[in-house]
A and B are shown apart, each in its own frame.
Chain A
Amino acid sequence: MRASRSAVCLAIGMVVPLLLVSGCTGDTARRSVAPSEPPSPTGPGRPSPTPEAPTGWFPAGRVLLAGPLAEQKDVTIADVVPSGASFTVYFVCTGGGRIALDVQAADPLRYPCDGVPNRSQVFVDKGVSTDLAVGVEGAAQWRLAVVDGAP
């Protein structure tokens, strides 16, 4: 684990609603996740991402990934592949500053970290994987969920 930066690599499979929080050597990781592979252990004090959020801020039925990632600033979520034409990203950022969500479009989404819920549907060509890069400016906390299909 890089000590100077909370680089958390999140690998998700299309059919495996499993979140991995593991030590990575780069900002982006692409990993295949076997259905039986248990989640990597989390370090002390680290938030414990769960596949389904208890607060109901996103639909739990088709979750590809979800996690309160409050301690991370910049994270890349690799290889999001929806089963159909689109996936949907739910995210909220608080504490001031700004959040940028890059889904390989021309420009990343940029929003203030003012606690307003955000939802973004991403259309991709079938079978194409997408890397999501999240970055924040200033003091901010955020959480995010990726759900298969339309909202």
Chain B
Amino acid sequence: MPIPAPIPPKGEQGPEFGTQAEYCTPGTYLYSMTNTTNTFDAKFRTSVINNTSSAKSFKFTATKTGTTTFTVSVSVSAELKAAIFAKMEATINAGVEQSNTTSYGVEVSGTVNANSTLYGDYGNWKENVSWKSHYVYSNCNTASENSGSAYAPYREAWKLYY
């Protein structure tokens, strides 16, 4: 699917011989995208609480799965949605996916300190962006400013933290 260019192409011909009038291909264009802080979409949460005075071994196993899907915060056309994903992939994070379902049975193990709580979340890291679009008329004027956010999964992992 062709991706609308941020700056529409200008035509070579004007309405009158010898003039150079601007011409733009009408349509909705994505003209801005900003990378925002990545977040974690937990699909299974676990923890180990050590209420003793000695360190303990632990093993976390992901026993539930879940899916994270590319999502745009506001309703947009299918074309613009595709353009948002394509631009995320091309300019922000080449690893983004339309959807990812976490795997079952993935394990991580280690030691938890005495009198401590260790958290372990299993899920998908999400690439988050904010974006802006507008409609371009054939005379290259713009209107219908629109903006929103979007996210897509790019890596499934355990997230461990005290």
Contacts and interface: CB of A to CB of B under 8 A. Distances in A.
A36 to B, nearest CB: 32
A123 B117 contact: no
B45 A130 contact: no
Nearest to A111: B45
A119 to B, nearest CB: 5
Contacts, number: 64
A106 B52 contact: no
B49 A103 contact: yes
B64 A117 contact: yes
A118 B49 contact: no
Nearest to A115: B66
B43 A116 contact: yes
Contact of A151 (B45, B52, B61, B117): B61
Contacts of B64: 116-117
* Chain B residues touching A, majority SS: strand
Contact of B51 (A111, A119, A124): A124
Contacts of A94: none
Determine the interface band of chain B, counting residues with CB < 8 A from chain A. Answer: 20 to 34
B50 interface: yes
Interface in A100-126: 103-107, 109, 111, 116-125
B51 A105 contact: yes
B46 A123 contact: no
For the complex of A and B, list the 9 residue pairs with the smallest distance between their C-beta atoms, beginning with the closest. A120-B47, A119-B46, A122-B49, A118-B45, A123-B50, A117-B64, A121-B48, A123-B56, A105-B49
